[in-house]
Amino acid sequence: MARVFRRGWDDRTARYKPACIAGPIDELLRLASQGLRLEHSVIAFTYEGEGGLSNEDREALWNGFGVPVFEQYLDRQNRLLATECDAHSGLHVVAGCSDYALDTEVCGCGNRSPRLSRGSRVEELVELLA
Ligand SMILES: [Zn+2]
């Protein structure tokens, strides 16, 4: 069952003892240093016009929570555009993303939908910083 805690992590969230948490990278990185252990996974939200999850972010989240990290790419209205699967081989496009070069090879997970490759996300960030 999914539950939304609009104020982010607080005493109520801690009492709930979630097996999985999802949120923006900055909030997750803040929690990663607090010794919180999860059972299932961490879902990091990244947003259109911003860079994707970096390898450093992934490592910090893995070290902090001890569970797999999945990225979900959202637009500014928090609608899902692309989501990372168990194969961790890019993000499967759910909507939009027509401006990106997409990887159309069949993914290791068996899903045939095109994927945003990490490379294009890195290039996107480079373009943002240029
Ligand atoms: Zn896949």
Residue 20 lies in a domain: yes
CA–CA dist 37, 118 (Å, integer): 27
Dump pLDDT digits (tens) for 87-127.
998 999 999 988 888 999 999 999 999 999 865 445 555 66
Q: What separation in Å is there between the alpha carbon of 45 and the centre of ligand 1?
A: 18
b/e per residue, 7-28, with b = 16+ CB within 10 A?
eebeeebeeeebeebbbebeeb
Q: Are 111 and 104 in contact (CB under 8 A)?
A: no
Owning domain of residue 50: 11-129
Global pTM reads: 0.84
Dump pLDDT digits (tens) for 11-34.
888 888 888 999 999 999 999 988
Domain tally, the chain: 1
Q: What separation in Å is there between the alpha carbon of 72 and the centre of ligand 1?
A: 13
Two tokens, residue 111: 């899903």
Residue 6 lies in a domain: no
Residue 4 lies in a domain: no
* Helix H or strand E encompassing 61: helix 55-65
Q: What separation in Å is there between the alpha carbon of 18 and the centre of ligand 1?
A: 25
Residue 97 lies in a domain: yes
Q: What separation in Å is there between the alpha carbon of 87 and the centre of ligand 1?
A: 5
Q: What separation in Å is there between the alpha carbon of 34 and the centre of ligand 1?
A: 31
